[in-house]
Structures are given as C-alpha cells and as structure tokens.
Amino acid sequence: MVDFDVIVVGAGPGGYVAAIRAAQLGMKVACVEKESTLGGTCLNIGCIPSKALLNSSEKFMDISKHAEEHGIKATKIELDLAKLMQRKDKIVKQLTGGIGFLFKKNKIEHISGSASFIDSKTILVKSAKEEKKLSAKNFIIATGSSSIEIPSMPIDEKQIVTSTGALSLQSVPKSMLVVGGGYIGLEMGSVWSRLGTKVTVVEALDRIVPTMDGEIASNFMKALQKQGIEFKLSHKVNNAKINKDNVEVSIESSEKKELKEKYEIVLMSVGRKPNSEGLNLEKIGVNLDEKKAIKINQEFKTSVDGIYAIGDVAPGPMLAHKAEEEGVACIELIHGQKTHMNYDIIPAIVYTNPEVASVGKTEEQLKELKIEYKIGKFPFMANGRALTTSTTEGFVKILADKKTDSILGAHIIGHDAGQLIAEIVTTMEFGGSAEDIARICHAHPTTSEAVKEAAMNVDGRAIHI
C-alpha cells in the first residue's frame, strides 16, 4: 500500500499550490522541501523580497527627488538600510509562515529534506536528522531553478553576487556592475541605483530584455538611462578578480576591444537553470532536454508513468504565476478533470519604474510569422489620472489582427503596467477583440482609460490624442 496519493517535491509557487489543490480534491498529500522555509525561490530570495526592496527604494527616490513638485518640503532625508531590510525580511517571514498555516489547514504533510527517486513509485528523503522512504501513486516534481554561474566569475555572495546576495547587502555600494540585461538584473540594479549606487549594465546582445517588444525595450532603456543607469550593449564579461575593496572585471566589446574596470559589487544575472540534478531522474528513466529541463507532454507527464513536472524545472518561461497555474492544472488532470494551460497568454512583468508588462506576440514575432496586424497606442501623458499622480511616462500598445481585430499581443510601459495588463490578458483568454475593450466603460479618472484609448486607436479613433 502506498503512503500518499501525491507527493510534491518542492514547495515553491508551483509545488505548494499543487499540494493545496490536491488536498482540496480529497487526496492524501505530502510536500517535500529541502530548504528550512516554504515558498521556494519566489517567496524567500526572489519575487517577494525583490518587490519589497523595489517598493521601498521607489519611495525613497520619490521623496528625495519629486516631493517638491507636490508642494512638500522634505529636508534631511536619510536612508536606514537596516530597517529597510528588516521590512523585507518581515514580509518574507509572514508569507512563508502563511504557507505552513495553509499546509496544516489542508492536512498536507510537510516533510523536510532532499528527495531522490529510488524507483518510479518511491523516493528517499534525507535530512540532517534522518532518512526515510516514501511511496506515492503520483509524484509532481516542482524543484524550480537556480542562478546560472560562470566559472570565470567566482560567486561569493559578498562581492560577486547573484540576486540572493543583492537582496541582502549590508551597505549601499558606490558602484555595481550588473552582468545581463534581463528582468532580474534590471530590477535589482534599479533598487540600488535609487538608493545611490552607480549602476552599469553589461549585455552581450545589442539590446536589453531580448524577448520584449522592440519598441518597448528601446523606451525602457531610455527611461533607465534617465535615472542614471549606464548600459554597455554588445559587450561581455570575460573574467573577474576579487580584491579586498573591489572586483576587477575584464569586459570585451563586439569589436574585441578589452577594457578593465573596477566595481564594488558585481551582480551576476545571466539567466537561470532548472533544478533537475540530485533527483536520480536518469536512473528511473525520466528524460531531460538539452537545458536539463524535464521533458513533459501537454498533461505535464514525464517519460515515466505517474511522474509529472511543473514550473521552472520544466520547459517554458520561468515565472511564478506560470508554475502556479501548472500546479493547479496538473493536479486536476491527475484527478480526472478536464483543464488546460494557454501558454500564449501568460503575462510577463518587469517591476522597475516605469514597469513593463507584456502578453502575447511582439511586433517582431508577428512580422516573422507574416501575420498582418494593426497597432493602437496611447500615451500616459494624455491620461488625466496619470497627470494627477505624476506618472506620465510610457504608453499602452495593443496589436490586433488586421482582419478579425482579435488581440494578438499587448505591451505596456508605465506606472502600474503589471496591474493594467490583466484586463487585456482576460480579454485575450476569452478570444476578445480590441473593439471589445474599446466598448467597455472604464471609470474616470483612471489609468485603465489608457488601455481603452489604445484599443480605440487600433481603428484610429482615440479621443484624447
């Protein structure tokens, strides 16, 4: 007789959500987690702590630089970094503790330790205290991902750091080199730039955020440059040497010109890799792809019956909300329900200031696919609510099919872009058109009116431009 109906390996956003959904459906569930706290990378060293620091640093910058325009005289502004970090840690503790409460509420057995497969129905869980074998009818692997490391850049999480170290610096560095112009590096670079660090971003490609719509990416970089962040595009870092007070970095341009520069902190942000090692997957016949992600079919099944994979350890965008949706869908399929994941309509957000949010196809992708499309854009500068809140930077961009008017993609750069994109995601999920959004009554004055106006402008009939 097996011990559980489902054992979930990993308690990140995908894993803990899958475990809770399984318990709701009446299954006997266990969740194995090797770290001392629940919540995975997202809650402990990713999404949540980074957003806490982004929020705090944005408030600091607003008060320092923009209070006067509101008639507020703020003098002798000081930063208490220790207190700022305490706030971040308090939020993390509250949320990770909340998952423990939800596990108890749903009668989910939380098992601490590292899991590895003995066979397709049994795992061995090792902790500092004990080892035990557990069996289940089904296993869901949700072990997430970790930062990619480069041998020539020895990470010590003090001077050469990943996002983990960048979230816990004890003082504001004078200078920081961010290696990689993707979401994570730009968010963490923004935090420290706002707090007074001179931030330089090195990117091997000729643009930042390569998966983003080109027009949005260009405007995004200009916005960050205005904030004082410097960019070295078409450059790569060859190696780094840690000294007592700095890191000496060798940077090479696309023309093979080399320069040596010194920075107090170097943040490595060149991507993430699936955490598929240590699970003994090869022994039981679970197939991996060239990036060591676990191969799955449309029902999240691996090459071995009864073993599933979700989230960052499986192929696809490494996003917490993608993992959560997969966790729910996977469990419901195991339970015999009919469900699906629409991977074409997963929003992606960069939580800088301005925020950037996107869903669906970019202009570049539509051109490559030879799909005829229309564009509707609307600037926040022409939006009443944005003017009253001093958040006029950016615009909404909607891409609609030229024949059917169905929304193919949408891209927003501006304050609260991550909130505004939800309306467009919903419309796309229901097969809606730009005209559908254009005909919806939006409250006034709100920044959501910019979405409506962009939808109207797909047919050239925006009112306020």
Active site residues: 444
Here the tokens at position 102 are 């939800």
For residues 26 and 21, what is the distance between their CA atoms, to the nearest angstrom?
Answer: 9
Q: Which of 162, 140, 346 is nearest to 272 (CA)?
A: 162
309-344 exposure pattern, b = at least 16 Cβ within 10 A, e = fewer: bbbbbbebebbbbbbbbbbbbbbbbbbeeeeebeee
Here the tokens at position 441 are 């009554």
Q: What ranges in 144-201 are assigned the alpha helix state H?
A: 163-166, 183-194
Classified as helix, coil or strand, 378 is strand
Classified as helix, coil or strand, 96 is helix
Here the tokens at position 306 are 């009864």
Q: Which of 402, 403, 409, 396 is nearest to 442 (CA)?
A: 396
From the CB of residue 223, how many other CB atoms can be counted at a distance below 10 Å?
18
DSSP state of 69: G
| Dihedral angle over CA of 188, 190, 193, 194, nearest 10 | -120
DSSP state of 54: H
